[in-house]
Structure 1
Amino acid sequence: MQDHQTVLQPTTDLGDLPDTLAWRLQCPVCAAPEIEQGRPDESAGGDHTAVTVHPDRDAYSSPLGTRGGHVEIRLWCAAGHDFQLVIANHKGAEYVGIIH
């Protein structure tokens, strides 16, 4: 996996919005900046099936190992590496992780 500075790149290409903090995600394996939602082997679906919301069932079901609800976004890069962006929350703590 690439280091954190390679995976998340600060970006200002979203316009000049006040109080905006944003990064462009790159592949955690090869640092390719071209990222698509879904998986390269999915014949149907794409963007609208790439995001899954897992409700808070008070269980340790998050890929990050956290307890509670989480959102999983399936992604892949131009070189074909697949990975997930996971956003999890439990008892006031918010986590963001990349799973490969």
Structure 2
Amino acid sequence: MATSLLRLGRLGSVKRLLRGGWSTPRTPLVAALCTEGDVPPKTAKASVKKQAPEPEPEPFDDTTYKNLQHHHYNMYTFADVDVALSKYRLPQPSSGRVSPGP
């Protein structure tokens, strides 16, 4: 086995392993040596359970929906919120030195 793998090269050995070259042999001889059958005895078919009918959907009333914050975005939304929240903004910390900018 090893010489055949060496003769085929690296790719050939990978192909041989992927094909199941070192797996257990699937011959009738192995099946004859087994003491236990791996096929379970057949059981009666389970009866098909009937599903309960789906309940009717509840009526949907969208006239009382008040959460409009997700629906009224426009081009100036960010600027409007920025101006409205500017009174809560804290000043930027400074080191006390004059900045070198122009």
TM-score, structure 1 as length reference: 0.13
* TM-score normalised per structure 2: 0.13
- The structure with the greater share of residues assigned to strand is 1
More helix by share: 2
